[in-house]
Amino acid sequence: QKEVEQDPGPLSVPEGAIVSLNCTYSNSAFQYFMWYRQYSRKGPELLMYTYSSGNKEDGRFTAQVDKSSKYISLFIRDSQPSDSATYLCAPKGSSGTYKYIFGTGTRLKVLA
Amino acid sequence: NAGVMQNPRHLVRRRGQEARLRCSPMKGHSHVYWYRQLPEEGLKFMVYLQKENIIDESGMPKERFSAEFPKEGPSILRIQQVVRGDSAAYFCASLPSGQLLSGANVLTFGAGSRLTVL
């Protein structure tokens, strides 16, 4: 079983749609849950992160973690063509651990 | 403040040649990671280095691959006797000194070096 599983997509949605991107993970020691966004031919950049279970909102983006089911979600409201990118989840262990494990990424295309 | 700088951005090599990829971390960053990304695959951890030390190279193939991060100068990922399967994007990421103890370590990535092996 992979440590982090993510549907690779591609996922195509019309502009303005609500997008739901998801990851599952197997290591219960993960405590920090990052979402990175990667545009084509670019390096990943941090979008947002959450600690432990719960929700975090940042503008049109909401990250959600359910540690009991080891399920991570990223919601995008009012999606825009500029949101078209690959979204990678990256859970991480506690302070002092250094290893990031990335999901395969979900390719999102928002159609104008 | 320049970000993480990687060069070359594109590199073409013939089978059997050597590829050398360079990464200059952000100013003040002393932790460097190298990741490999194949088409339709995620980022695969290769190696984690601090200045003059390899901390974890568990993701790096035992043969032909090596990495270093000298006291002065960029980090280098070296691939000897390249094969077609080495064709990929190689990303470098860095962390500030001391941030390792902070739980939410935020990796800053470079734009990547794309290696094509003919």
The single-letter code of the amino acid at B33 is Y
Task: Tell me what pLDDT residue B24 has.
Answer: 96
- Report CB contact under 8 Å: A45, B100: no
- Report CB contact under 8 Å: A95, B101: yes
Task: Tell me what pLDDT residue B1 has.
Answer: 53
Cβ proximity of B112 and A60 under 8 Å? no
Task: Tell how far CA A34 is from the center of its chain.
Answer: 7
C-alpha B64/C-alpha B27 separation (Å) is 30
Q: Terminus-to-terminus CA distance in chain A, angstroms?
A: 37
Considering only the C-alpha atoms of chain A, give the largest distance between any 2 of them, rounded to a whole number of Å: 43
- Report CB contact under 8 Å: B109, A49: no
Mean pLDDT of A86-95: 85
Omega prior to B70 cis, within 30 of 0? no
Q: What is the pLDDT along chain B (118 residues), one digit of tens a residue?
A: 578 999 999 999 999 999 999 999 998 888 999 999 987 778 999 999 998 999 999 999 999 999 999 999 999 999 999 999 999 999 999 987 665 545 566 789 999 999 999 9
Residue A22 Cα, gap to closest chain B Cα (Å): 15
Measured CA to CA in angstroms, residue B108 lies from A86, A102, B116 at distances of 17, 14, 24
Q: Residue B33: its chain A contacts at CB < 8 A?
A: 100
Strand extents, DSSP E, A4-111: 4-6, 11-14, 19-25, 32-38, 45-51, 54-58, 61-66, 71-76, 85-92, 106-111
Q: What is the pLDDT of residues B79-97, one digit of tens each?
A: 999 999 999 999 999 987 6
Tell whether the model's pLDDT for residue A96 goes beyond 70. no
Mean pLDDT of A91-105: 79
C-alpha B14/C-alpha B84 separation (Å) is 9
Taking the C-alpha atoms of A107, B10, B44 and A101 in order, what is their torsion angle to the nearest 10 degrees? -70
Give residue A30's pLDDT band: very low, low, confident or very high (50, 70, 90). Answer: confident
C-alpha B38/C-alpha B31 separation (Å) is 23
Mean pLDDT rounded to a whole number for chain A = 91
Q: Residue A32: its chain B contacts at CB < 8 A?
A: 103-105
